[in-house]
A and B are shown apart, each in its own frame.
Chain A
Amino acid sequence: MRWLQDPILDVQHLTMRFGGLVAINDLSFQAGRGDITALIGPNGAGKTTVFNCITGFYKPTEGMIALRKPDGSHMLLERLPGFSINWKAKVARTFQNIRLFSGMTVLENLLVAQHNSLMIASGFTFLGVLGIGGYRKAESDAIERAKYWLDKIRLTDRADDPAGDLPYGAQRRLEIARAMCTDPLLLCLDEPAAGLNPRESHELNALLLSIRKDHATSILLIEHDMSVVMEISDHVVVLDYGTKISDGSPSEIRSDPRVIAAYLGVADEEVEQVASEIGA
């Protein structure tokens, strides 16, 4: 129950309404520091909306999203402007439909991710244009870091190819590497295993476990692939119609009747039983 003792992300009473549609209804959950937390639920349950609220693409209608830094200080994500969530609060994300800079090379993609630190090194462009200051060194450091991630995702050979040329699985890995280049405390992955074959999703598991082990990065992921969810996650939160229906370790979730009902529906007898109880 690490998520209750030392949460990195604390979501309280989060509600998101789009006009009359309530996409998320009074959702509260915690994600533990150093945990891999999975957010699961049937299609349309509001998982991606939760992600968009956490990463600043939507401003929640109600509620609080607090990120706890290692030193114990809080940052309220719902109050930060969109780009600061990555830069100040150190929350990185990937997208359900891959959003790489397809016309830029793989290496450039990883350098764009290090924009803010390079921007400071180049004296906010003023020193960089004149060729003074430590930009050259900072850039070679950034390339070193990019190389480290390229080795990790096995794309070093394709570093100078356009990102749009990569096969699908490699694009997914590159997007994760790009998010990791921003040096995040919390990495939010929106369906990282979608469209991967069993071997690729097995590799993804290994990559995510090594990210957690080596980089002090906690992971929050949305996933439909149960082989990924059950194998690597420490904590599962289940959403249905915008409300939390279950929260616990993978083994608890696996046997929770509400989760099974949400995914598979309930038997006809039960429906009849409930119908007779309410006198319909």
Chain B
Amino acid sequence: MTAPSTTTTTAPATTSADTVVPVRFDFAAALKDSLKSAAIAFGLSIPILAFKTDQSGGDIFLTPRWGLVAIFVSIIFGVRLLQHAFMATKAYRLATPDPHQATEAVHAEPNAFQKVSRFGIPFFLGIAIGFPFLIYLIQGGMNESRYWVDLGILILTYVMLGWGLNIVVGLAGLLDLGYVAFYAVGAYSYALLSTTFGLSFWICLPVAGILAAFWGIILGFPVLRLRGDYLAIVTLAFGEIVRLVLINWVDLTNGGAGISSIPRATFFGLPFTAGEGGFADFFGIEYHGMQRMIFLYYLILALALLTNFVTMRLRKLPVGRAWEALREDEIACRSLGINTTNTKLTAFAIGAMFGGFAGSFFAVRQGFVSPESFNFLESAIILAIVVLGGMGSQIGVAIGAVVLVGGPEVLRNLGFLTAIFGAGFDPNEYRLLLFGAGMVAMMVWRPRGLISERQPSVFLKERKAISSAHVKEGHG
């Protein structure tokens, strides 16, 4: 009895080399196309822009606005020409990932702009450390830089939250839509412990982290049998439950009114006050309100870097590798003797712990917490930061936070646009529109996030980044 032996041979991986045809910039054609676009824009602008109805008394008469039309048409012409010029450059080819990247494993290598430059990390770290000084120099004064330092603190808070959630979503592949619950637990832990028992921030910070981790485990136990969409829905519900408990348990949390006059953080026991025994007095410098802000800035920077350091460290430890293995294939993990439940719980707990740290920082910065700070939109923004940055990539998440939190703020400062679009133009009103457009652009050009490569945790000969085509997003 002999069955015919299988003679199926695996076909050699056909990697047809992409024949890169150098694109020459055809100026005449580009000019022609740009003129065409400008003509269409002109045609469209006649009924829309060229005449404005003005009312004077009972009469309505048309005010021609040919100047505006001219500006509009020339912008279209210029942008189209620049687009053609850019599309002919090498940079464009490098910046355009293959459209297959979202769906297929072949021809989906990350390109130059999806990799982290070797100078990227020192550059960002330098900017982050020197930020208050840079702003001081640019704005030329302490008071003028207040807004910018405040924005820096806000961005770093989200960087930290993004890094915390990255452990759960990016490394372990567990979709968590209720991350803000742990942020809330941290914030309320500090708010309640400090206002009720008078404990200092430095004692409450670890306690808040531990409490948040504890709640992470409480949430983890019942939900970790669920996978994918179901897990996402249950974590979403958990986030809402925490918020509703905070609103309705009035005796403890003071309900929707929130907890106010939370004590400020001190610099190792030195309060940031003007009088005797304060920070300024101790160091013999002049008191300034910005000293506290700059201290808070460096505090959140230190906390964020701690998060990053611990995450990087964990990735090189067996638990971090088990998280990533879990994201890749849970069944194979179980067959290799990995306790998948415990591994998922550690991911939830550690991610929640950093959320708790960030929460207690939030409470100490604001001096006030209320349940409305912890709604679903916050969870969505944090998740968007992780997904936009590139799941699992630390630097990508940091860039994602800068773009998503800092980007809308930039819109406030686009006052010069009123010169083009008229005095009533407020770029801030277009915030969500631009936000949405940016997300759609991301889905088209960067489906796997801004930084879509995975660094191996260990290597034998050389460290080779792994293309996102092989890395799975996780489904559990």
Chain B residues contacting A193 (CB-CB under 8 Å) are 6
Cβ–Cβ contact A86 & B458, under 8 A: no
Which residue on chain B has the smallest CB distance to residue A226?
A: B3
Contact A122 B318 (CB under 8 A): yes
Chain B 255-276 interface residues, beta-carbon cutoff 8 Å to A: none
Known: A108-B456, A125-B346, A162-B467. A82 touches B334 (CB 8 A): yes
The majority secondary structure among interface residues of chain A is: helix
Per a CB cutoff under 8 Å, which of A135, A182, A230, A254 touches B337? A182
| A224 in contact with B335 given A105-B459, A108-B457 (CB within 8 Å) | no
Contact check, B8 vs A112: say whether CB atoms are below 8 A apart: no
Instruction: Report which of A56, A112, A128, A165 forms a contact with B336, defined as CB distance below 8 A.
Output: A112
The answer to whether the Cβ of B93 comes within 8 Å of any Cβ in the partner chain is no
Chain A hits for B457, CB < 8 A: 108
Out of B336, B339, B346, B462, name the residue touching A182 (CB < 8 Å). B336
Q: Is A186 an interface residue (CB 8 A)?
A: no
**Nearest chain B residue, comparing its CB with the CB of A124:** B319
Interface residues of A in 179-195 (CB under 8 A from B): 179, 182, 193-195
Which residues on the A side are within 8 Å of B1 (C-beta)? 226, 253-255, 259-260, 263-264
Shortest C-beta distance, B214 to chain A (Å), equals 16
A107 at interface by CB-CB < 8 Å: yes
Shortest distance in angstroms between B168's beta carbon and chain A's nearest beta carbon?
Answer: 16
Q: Once the chains bind, are A230 and B2 in contact (CB under 8 Å)?
A: yes
Instruction: Contact check, B458 vs A83: say whether CB atoms are below 8 A apart.
Output: no
Q: B464 interface residue, CB < 8 Å from A?
A: yes
Distance to closest chain A CB from B103 (angstroms): 15
CA distance A119 to B346 in the complex (A): 13
User: In chain B, residues 1-30, which have Cβ atoms closer than 8 Å to a Cβ of chain A?
Assistant: 1-3, 5-10, 12-13
Q: Is A201 an interface residue (CB 8 A)?
A: yes
B471 touches A83 (CB 8 A): no
Q: Does B169 contact A (CB under 8 A)?
A: no
Structural contact, A99 and B10, CB atoms closer than 8 A: no
Candidates B12, B329, B337, B469; contact of A116 at CB < 8 Å? B337
- Contact between A195 and B466, CB atoms less than 8 A apart: no
Q: Decide if B459 touches A198 in the complex (CB within 8 Å).
A: no
Which residue of the partner chain, among A122, A179, A226, contacts B317 with CB atoms under 8 Å? A122
Q: Which residue of B2, B105, B456, B461 is within 8 Å of A104 (Cβ)?
A: B456
Are A115 and B335 in contact (CB-based, < 8 A)?
Answer: no
User: By the criterion CB–CB under 8 Å, are B340 and A107 in contact?
Assistant: no
Cβ contact within 8 Å between B471 and A108: no
Closest-by-CB residue of B relative to A89 is: B337
Q: Is the CB of B5 within 8 A of A99?
A: no
Q: Indicate which residue in A156, A201, A226 contacts B2 across the interface (CB closer than 8 Å).
A: A226
When each residue 163-181 of chain A gets 1 if its CB lies under 8 Å from chain B and 0 otherwise, what string results?
Answer: 1110111000000001100
User: B115 at interface (Cβ–Cβ under 8 A)?
Assistant: no
A83→B332 contact, CB < 8 A: no
Total interface residues on B, using CB and 8 Å? 52
Given known pairs A102-B472, A254-B1, the reply for A115 and B337 (CB within 8 Å) is yes
User: Are the CB atoms of B322 and A201 closer together than 8 Å?
Assistant: no
Contact B331 A99 (CB under 8 A): yes
CB of B470 closer than 8 Å to a CB of A: yes
**Residue of B7, B458, B459 with most chain A CB atoms under a 10 A cut-off:** B458
Q: How far is the CB of A151 from chain B (nearest CB, A)?
A: 11
Instruction: Decide if A9 is an interface residue (CB 8 Å cutoff).
Output: no
Which residue of chain B lies nearest to A138 when distances are taken between CB atoms in the complex? B318
Q: Is the CB of B318 within 8 A of A105?
A: no
Complex CA distance for A169 and B11, rounded to whole angstroms: 11
Within residues 67 to 85 of chain A, which ones have a CB less than 8 A from any CB in chain B?
82-85
Which A114-139 residues sit within 8 Å CB-CB of chain B? 114-116, 118-119, 122, 125, 128-129, 135, 139
Do residues B336 and A92 form an inter-chain contact, with CB atoms below 8 A?
yes
Is B176 interfacial (CB 8 A cutoff)?
A: no
- Which residues on the A side are within 8 Å of B146 (C-beta)? none
Which range holds the interface residue count of chain A? 35 or more
0/1 per residue, A91-104, Cβ < 8 Å to B? 01101000111111
A102 x B310 contact (CB < 8 A): no
A99 CA to B454 CA, complexed, in Å: 19
Q: Which residues of B contact A30 (CB under 8 A)?
A: none
B113 → A minimal CB distance (Å): 21
Report the minimal beta-carbon distance from B315 to chain A, rounded to whole angstroms: 11
Closest to B343 in A: A115
| A225 interface residue per 8 A CB criterion | yes
* Interface residue A143 (Cβ < 8 Å from any Cβ of B): yes
Q: Is A55 interfacial (CB 8 A cutoff)? A: yes
Does any Cβ of A come within 8 Å of B290's Cβ? no
Report whether A160 and B462 are in contact in the complex, using a CB–CB cutoff of 8 Å.
yes
- Compute how far the CA of A81 lies from the CA of B470 in the bound complex, rounded to whole angstroms: 30
B13 neighbours in A (Cβ, 8 Å)? 167
- Using Cβ atoms and an 8 Å threshold, which residues of chain A touch B464? 105, 160-161
- Interface residue from A87, A115, A178, A197 paired with B322 (Cβ < 8 Å): A115
22 A-B interface contacts by CB (under 8 A): A55-B335, A83-B338, A84-B337, A100-B329, A101-B328, A102-B329, A102-B471, A104-B321, A112-B333, A118-B318, A135-B317, A143-B458, A160-B459, A162-B470, A165-B470, A182-B337, A196-B8, A225-B3, A227-B5, A263-B1, A263-B3, A264-B1
Given contacts A122-B318, A195-B6, 15 further A-B contacts (CB under 8 A): A102-B472, A103-B328, A103-B466, A103-B472, A105-B466, A107-B459, A112-B333, A115-B337, A125-B314, A129-B310, A160-B464, A169-B10, A198-B5, A201-B5, A227-B2
Q: Which residues does A use to contact B, with CB under 8 Å? A: 55-57, 82-87, 92-93, 95, 99-105, 107-108, 111-116, 118-119, 122, 125, 128-129, 135, 139, 143, 147, 150, 156, 159-165, 167-169, 178-179, 182, 193-198, 201, 224-227, 230, 253-255, 259-260, 263-264
The 8 A-B residue pairs with the shortest CB-CB distance, nearest first, are A103-B471, A86-B337, A87-B337, A164-B470, A101-B328, A168-B10, A118-B318, A99-B332
* Chain B contact residues, CB within 8 Å of chain A: 1-3, 5-10, 12-13, 105, 310, 313-314, 317-319, 321-322, 324-325, 327-329, 331-340, 346, 454, 456-464, 466-467, 469-472
